[in-house]
Amino acid sequence: MLKVLVKEIKELRSMIKSWRREGLSIGFVPTMGALHEGHESLIKRAVAENDRVVVSVFVNPTQFGPNEDYDAYPRNIDKDLKLCMNAGATVVFNPEPKEMYFQDKSTSVSVSGLTDVLCGAKRPGHFDGVCLVVSKFLNIVTPDRAYFGQKDAQQVAVIKRMIRDLNIDVEIIPCPIVREEDGLAKSSRNTYLSAEERKAALVLSRSLKMAKKALDNGERDAYKLKELIRVEISKEPLAKIDYVEIVDGDSLNDVEVIERNILVPIAVYIGKTRLIDNFTYEI
Amino acid sequence: MLKVLVKEIKELRSMIKSWRREGLSIGFVPTMGALHEGHESLIKRAVAENDRVVVSVFVNPTQFGPNEDYDAYPRNIDKDLKLCMNAGATVVFNPEPKEMYFQDKSTSVSVSGLTDVLCGAKRPGHFDGVCLVVSKFLNIVTPDRAYFGQKDAQQVAVIKRMIRDLNIDVEIIPCPIVREEDGLAKSSRNTYLSAEERKAALVLSRSLKMAKKALDNGERDAYKLKELIRVEISKEPLAKIDYVEIVDGDSLNDVEVIERNILVPIAVYIGKTRLIDNFTYEI
């Protein structure tokens, strides 16, 4: 059996190079571990579309703010490994932070504009951390295709912009949100929820569903749609709105009248846990 | 005969990919055109060490400050093409600015620390522009080796740091400064000098030579060495010191007592033309 778990960049690089020499295509799925069915759907798609698939499960410290949950972030490498192998991944990359970052690291990669809104406005530095680690991974793995969950819709838009601006030769493939049966979007952070909070968390998908129905019925006023979502969320005592927005799907600029493809992203605290959800809508 | 001049990223990429399929190695020489014997030495070395060599002659607007010489910067594509062909380059890449930069470009690549000193202190944003364009070129050309002139010593240090921090898989090869017979370091900006200034410009190499001799004779006090250079330059009426420094060769941190490998970089205005020169010294 192939060695599945790789911890060193040098070792991963030499595997990649031997695949390249054989003319094999490479898919890449960057995750932070704590894998769930959402990640699994990315991996399976990557396996279907590429000869070799690398999954990274590195919990990237540079994308967490000083008061965020880096230490508490769920980690379960044995479970992750099993899920990756069952889904058909070739290699799971799990470097130590010191393998990824020199102590005197001094290079940053930033996308401006798109990162000033939504989660970026609430989590300063978050997307700089994401851009840095994704740049590094893409340089190490040199994939033909990289797979990202549409649940992190802003991340997808930011990474697409970075790829374009830096001429990185990779196809970015956004994959649909995977949900629990009752509608809650799968998230590694769902494990933080108590039983009561788990129920309350349904307000995210429920409110988005209402907005989508209103769009189907012809509502084109972004303010009214946001109000509809806000009112629904405010009915849930455990929920506290972080943001409810309607933005252009590419630029993430605010939209007032809905005329083209939009993204409707929301972030809501359920107790102390911050959850996000969204849908895209094509006119 | 092969088509030598390429203006589109897409076309260059398809050439690169066909070379890769044949298993050929690729050398890359990033320049801003106005090629002289310094560049020629880089190209010849790249030709000697690689199967295919790409030379870019793109005058990169993002590395010029608002009051710098972007418009006036010398351009002579016919002469450049001839020099590249004679030196054995495979392709000369000369994209239009709009081919390189989208109007809504929003991604930046920055190296902190190393860029706050020397030329970086005097030319804010310059190295951000350099890092951005070099990142893009490296992603487009995917060279095995990239060749940089040691005359831009800070640029070499910054690019090396960027490559390391972003895990870019390329070997950076710094090449020695090429000088006129009388000692003046070759530079595209030497064409700005009047006959009188051309003579005055010799003060750069002359003062560095004196410092090197002092080092050979055992001087280890950085202040005294800098003073020696400053005094020599101040004897030249057309010369105005921008900076005279002695720094660590990797970190570019100030050095007081010379104990290991150092870089001695200077920047001097000769009339309105800013010239730089340097030498490295190994203890």
Angle at B223 between CA B217 and CA B229, to 5 degrees: 70
Task: Indicate if the pLDDT at residue A2 is higher than 70.
Answer: no
- Cβ contact A251–B140 (<8 Å): no
A39 is catalytic: yes
Cβ atoms of B118 and B158 closer than 8 Å: no
Q: Can you list the positions of beta strands (E) in chain B?
A: 5-6, 26-30, 52-56, 91-93, 107-111, 145-149, 171-175, 239-244, 247-248, 262-270, 273-281
3-state secondary structure of A195: helix
The encoded tokens of residue A229 equal 């979502």
Looking at every residue in chain B, the average pLDDT score rounds to: 96
- The answer to whether residue A146 neighbours chain B at the CB level (below 8 Å) is no
Residue type (1 letter), B42: L
Picking from A175, A186, A153, the residue whose alpha carbon sits closest to that of residue A27 is A175
Task: Indicate if the pLDDT at residue A99 is higher than 80.
Answer: yes
Q: What is the pLDDT of residues B78-114, one digit of tens each?
A: 999 999 999 999 999 999 999 999 999 999 999 999 9
Task: Indicate if the pLDDT at residue A40 is higher than 90.
Answer: yes
Q: Tokens 């970089």 appear where?
A: B265
What residues of chain B lie within 8 A of the CB of A167, using their CB? 9, 136, 139-140
Cβ neighbors of A187 (< 8 A, separation 6 or more) are A36, A38, A151, A275, A276
- Cβ contact A165–B251 (<8 Å): no
- The answer to whether residue A229 neighbours chain B at the CB level (below 8 Å) is no
Among A166, A170, A250, the strongest candidate for a mutation testing the B interface, having the largest count of B CBs within 10 A, is A166
Catalytic residue numbers of B read: 39
Cβ atoms of A58 and A32 closer than 8 Å: yes
Phi, psi of A276 (to 5 degrees): -125, 155
What residues of chain B lie within 8 A of the CB of A131, using their CB? 107
Give the mean pLDDT of A40-65: 97
Nearest Cα of chain B lies from the Cα of A61 at a distance, in angstroms, of 15
- The answer to whether residue B18 neighbours chain A at the CB level (below 8 Å) is no
The encoded tokens of residue A101 equal 């970052």
Half-sphere exposure of A130 (CA within 13 A, CB side): 25
Least CB–CB distance from B107: residue in A13, A107, A165: A165
Cβ neighbors of A117 (< 8 A, separation 6 or more) are A154, A245, A247, A252, A254
Q: Quick count: other Cβ atoms within 10 Å of Cβ B174?
A: 19
What residues of chain A lie within 8 A of the CB of B140, using their CB? 167, 169
Whole-model pTM: value is: 0.95
3-state secondary structure of B124: coil
pLDDT given at position A3: 66
Give the mean pLDDT of A117-131: 95
Domains of chain B: 4-175 (3.40.50.620), 188-278 (3.30.1300.10)
- Cβ contact A107–B13 (<8 Å): no
